[in-house]
Amino acid sequence: MPVIFLGVSVLFTQCDKAKDVEPDDENELITTVQLKFTESGASTPQTFTYRDVDGDGGNAPSVFEKITLKPNTTYTLTVDLKDESKSPAEDITKEVKEEADEHLFVFTPSPASLLTYTYGDKDARNFSIGLTGTARTGAAGTGKLKVQLRHQPPMNGNAVKNGTPGPGSDDVNLDFNLEVK
pTM: 0.84
Q: What is the pLDDT of residues 32-70, one digit of tens each?
A: 999 999 999 889 999 999 999 887 777 888 899 999 999
Burial, 151: exposed, middle or buried (Cβ in 10 Å; 0-12, 13-18, 19+)? buried
pLDDT reading at 21 higher than 60: no
Round the average pLDDT of the chain to a whole number and report it: 87
Q: Give percent above pLDDT 70 in the chain.
A: 86
Q: Look at residue 14 in the predicted model and tell me its pLDDT.
A: 38
Mean pLDDT of 118-132: 97
pLDDT reading at 17 higher than 70: no
Half-sphere exposure of 126 (CA within 13 A, CB side): 0
Contact 62, 55 (CB under 8 A): no
Domains, in order of start, for the chain? 23-180 (2.70.50)
Q: Look at residue 60 in the predicted model and tell me its pLDDT.
A: 86
Q: Look at residue 59 in the predicted model and tell me its pLDDT.
A: 84
Q: Look at residue 50 in the predicted model and tell me its pLDDT.
A: 97
Q: Look at residue 175 in the predicted model and tell me its pLDDT.
A: 97
Q: Look at residue 25 in the predicted model and tell me its pLDDT.
A: 56
Q: What is the pLDDT of residues 148-181, one digit of tens each?
A: 999 999 988 899 999 999 999 999 999 999 999 9
Going 86 to 92 to 95 to 96, the CA torsion angle's sign is positive
